[in-house]
Amino acid sequence: MQLPKPYLLFLADGSSLAQCKTAAGLRDWCPHDVLGQFAMESCRVDLGLPRLTPAAAAAAGARSLVIGVAPVGGAIPPRWVPALLEALEAGLDLVSGMHTRLSALPAVAAAAKRLGRSLFDVRHSDQVYTAATGARRSGRRALTVGMDCAIGKKYAALELTRALRERGMPATFRATGQTGIMIAGAGIAIDAVVADFIAGAAEALSPAAAADHWDVIEGQGALFHPAYGGVTLGLVHGSQPDAMVLCHDPLRTHIEEYPHHPLPTLQSAMDQYLCAAHVTNPAARFVGISLNTSGLDPERRMRVMHGLEAQFDLPVIDPMQDGAGRIAAAMLRDYRHIS
Amino acid sequence: MQLPKPYLLFLADGSSLAQCKTAAGLRDWCPHDVLGQFAMESCRVDLGLPRLTPAAAAAAGARSLVIGVAPVGGAIPPRWVPALLEALEAGLDLVSGMHTRLSALPAVAAAAKRLGRSLFDVRHSDQVYTAATGARRSGRRALTVGMDCAIGKKYAALELTRALRERGMPATFRATGQTGIMIAGAGIAIDAVVADFIAGAAEALSPAAAADHWDVIEGQGALFHPAYGGVTLGLVHGSQPDAMVLCHDPLRTHIEEYPHHPLPTLQSAMDQYLCAAHVTNPAARFVGISLNTSGLDPERRMRVMHGLEAQFDLPVIDPMQDGAGRIAAAMLRDYRHIS
């Protein structure tokens, strides 16, 4: 799936920045691919981007309108359809991460067909994958893994990709979730593939590459997540990571929305991830810990980070505050002489 | 998915018993649901069942023709279509575990529509599931887990269901693979669901039940299988097993078709399964080991079984030779006073 950039971001009738976090992520992570924002009159969110109509955006070179807002439930409400049609008429393709498929909206499907426009549903997967081979392939792979969902795995992978490149190491961000796919313009919604092919899809996502090239793969879920652990395990197996980064929020005590499922210790989590990763890569190891410390005061933040550094002898970062340079530097050092 | 029984078994142009193992499994495991066999002239397999035309089978009460043969590749060859049409014309529904969907055969789809017949593709899943809740539910659950694929998990689950019932314990076999679904007449092809919903589908497969009722769930894959581990983990999480039976073939040294993936030790495998199962059921434990000893001479068979009994202090059975009575008896004893 290759998404046509640059984008016009559709905020629809978004009522909060939280609802528009997909659009905000695109603004922050691929600013050169974003030409502007387009909203309905009732929208109460402003991302500080140029306000463009679809026609003006198309004239400026935009190729897709991206739905950048996600109301609860993930359905596309009928009131958005006129704006989507306006974008198609202006010559833009549509990109959506919603549960509702764009092609399931009759007016949208008809207009796209009439105008020769493409509809991209990044949450869904119509691609057919094969079962994983388990065979080692050339190139290096890093995978962000987590103590839970929504704990910074995408952000850590993006920062690590940037930090590796800044140090002269060839690196590619590999997206496995909808926002990541929109940022990268490509990827596989790994939780949407048929169960038998999770690891196979992960193999396809990070194919053989030059020996010193790093694929930095966006992790999903958690091995011990009661609903999504299977996705996580298949992604670990297929990614064959050389290096893993454990992502955590020190204030998270249990799986989000699963109050009866306390998190394991970080040591237990690492042991479980290593056991899983060693199935397809016996050399897999952790190279760092990535924290979301936004909920901690400065003193506690320092105490937590220093404590974990001492406990695990690994660089501990908050990618939002520190970037991932310390992890990239450690990887540069550790893998320089490994082919 | 509820399949209409009784069945007429279609052997097509099967050339070996191995190719017809689905039909042989149905003959052995649900003999009261099987009225006869139906083959093309070139078929070289005989299951010893009455030879019936679709019309004769329908007159005797049959409701479905089941494709009981699986050539390499899993496609339905065009030369079978006349026989499938004959069955539809005779009033039978069609049941298939092939990769090719019955509805993808235009002549079959048209005839089924015209005649009001149903087409069941048990390898595919069009059902929509929800994410697992992780919430405990009433009733007891046993899950067969394995050192690999094709190592006796279905057989062990069927024998255990039978042995529990023979001892007066209410028990239901829960099928997760195509042959199991045909035997039970219901179930979920767990490897065909969307990755996000593996555990959710497993929860749906074994719903809340009476406190002393056992669901005996057919396991799939292996946690450390490089292609299918994700399916296995989601099935373990969603099944919330109280009791697990580890299935093994003492002659299997590596994952079948993955020569570079040696099997872990049985102890390591048990540790990994327990770690996974404890995410949703802290009381999960092993209650037995089920071996395929068909490749061992009698002396080695005894030595292996006694050795494992001593090592793990668990009943060790070969369900093909011994049934699962010793495991059922141990469960009867151990769970009598647990509500």
A127, part of any domain: no
B130, part of any domain: no
Does the beta-carbon distance from B235 to A234 stay under 8 Å? no
Q: Spell out the residues 6+ positions from residue A84 whose beta carbon is closer than 8 angstroms to its own.
A: A10, A65, A76, A94, A102, A105, A108
Same domain, residue pair A145 and A55 = no
Best residue in A128, A149, A194 for a mutation probing chain B (most B CBs within 10 Å)? A194
b/e string for B117-128 if b means 16 or more Cβ within 10 A? bebbbbbbbeee
The 10s digit of each residue's pLDDT in A110-163 is 999 999 999 999 988 778 899 999 999 999 999 999 999 999 999 999 999 999
Q: Is the pLDDT of residue B48 over 70?
A: yes
Residue B145's SS3 state is: strand
Read off φ and ψ for residue B101, nearest 5 degrees. Answer: -75, 140
Same domain, residue pair A116 and A253 = no
* Number of residues written out for chain A: 339
The 10s digit of each residue's pLDDT in A311-323 is 999 999 999 999 9
pLDDT category of residue B289 using cuts at 50, 70 and 90:
very high
Mean pLDDT of the B133-150 span:
97
CATH number of the domain where residue A162 is located: 3.40.50.300
Is A51 at the interface with chain B, CB within 8 A? no
Domains in chain A: how many in total?
2
Rounded distance between C-alpha atoms, residue B142 and residue B285, angstroms? 10
pLDDT category of residue A289 using cuts at 50, 70 and 90:
very high
Q: Is the pLDDT of residue B47 over 70?
A: yes
Rounded distance between C-alpha atoms, residue B334 and residue B170, angstroms? 16
Does the beta-carbon distance from B194 to A196 stay under 8 Å? no
B112, part of any domain: yes
Same domain, residue pair B89 and B178 = no
Report pLDDT for A106. 97
Does the beta-carbon distance from B133 to A275 stay under 8 Å? no
Is residue B146 within 8 A of residue B219, CB to CB? The reply is yes
From chain B, pick out residues whose CB is under 8 angstroms from the CB of A227: 131-134, 196, 199-200, 237
Tokens representing residue A70 in the block? 């996600």
Same domain, residue pair B144 and B207 = yes
Report pLDDT for A339. 54
CATH number of the domain where residue A17 is located: 3.40.50.720
B1, part of any domain: no
B84, part of any domain: yes
Report pLDDT for B338. 62
Same domain, residue pair B159 and B101 = no
Q: Spell out the residues 6+ positions from residue B61 whose beta carbon is closer than 8 angstroms to its own.
A: B6, B35
User: Which of B121, B153, B188 is where one domain is finished?
Assistant: B121
The 10s digit of each residue's pLDDT in A176-224 is 999 999 999 999 999 999 999 999 999 999 999 999 999 999 999 999 9
Using CB atoms, which residue from A199, A227, A272 is nearest to B229?
Answer: A199
Q: What is the CA radius of gyration of chain B?
A: 20
| Average pLDDT score over chain B | 96
Same domain, residue pair B265 and B300 = yes
Report pLDDT for A99. 85
Classify residue B240 as left (phi > 0), alpha (psi -120 to 50) or beta.
Answer: left
B239, part of any domain: yes
Best residue in B101, B194, B236, B272 for a mutation probing chain A (most A CBs within 10 Å)? B194
Report pLDDT for B336. 85
The 10s digit of each residue's pLDDT in A23-47 is 999 999 999 999 999 999 999 999 9
Residue in chain B closest to A273 (alpha carbons) equals: B272
Nearest CA among B223, B279, B290, B226 for reference residue B256: B226
Strand partners, B120: B95
pLDDT category of residue B248 using cuts at 50, 70 and 90:
very high
User: Which of A61, A91, A121 is where one domain is finished?
Assistant: A121
A129, part of any domain: no
| Average pLDDT score over chain A | 96
Is B107 at the interface with chain A, CB within 8 A? no
Instruction: Give the range of the structural domain holding residue A114, as residue numbers without chain letter.
Output: 7-121
Using CB atoms, which residue from B134, B223, B230 is nearest to A226?
Answer: B134
Same domain, residue pair B298 and B200 = yes
Residue B64's SS3 state is: strand
Is residue A202 within 8 A of residue A243, CB to CB? The reply is no
Least confident of A48-57, B31-40, B68-77, B323-332: B68-77
Helix (H) or strand (E) holding B316: strand B316-317
Same domain, residue pair B62 and B181 = no
User: Which of A121, A151, A183 is where one domain is finished?
Assistant: A121
From chain A, pick out residues whose CB is under 8 angstroms from the CB of B177: none
B228, part of any domain: yes
Same domain, residue pair A209 and A292 = yes
Same domain, residue pair A92 and A158 = no
Report pLDDT for A338. 62
List of E strands, A49-170? 64-67, 93-96, 119-121, 140-146
What DSSP string describes B208-259?
Answer: ---TT-EEEEPP-S-TT-TTTHHHHHHHHHHH--SEEEEEE-TT--B-TT-T
From chain B, pick out residues whose CB is under 8 angstroms from the CB of A237: 226-227, 229-230
Same domain, residue pair B100 and B192 = no
Helix/strand/coil percent split, chain B, to 5: 40, 15, 45
Same domain, residue pair B100 and B215 = no
Is A262 at the interface with chain B, CB within 8 A? no
Residue B301 CB neighbour total at 10 angstroms: 17
Report pLDDT for A218. 98
Report pLDDT for B27. 96
Is residue A96 within 8 A of residue A23, CB to CB? The reply is no
Q: Which of residues 215-244 of A touch B (CB under 8 A)?
A: 223-224, 226-235, 237
Q: Spell out the residues 6+ positions from residue A12 whose beta carbon is closer than 8 angstroms to its own.
A: A39, A40, A43, A67, A69, A80, A83
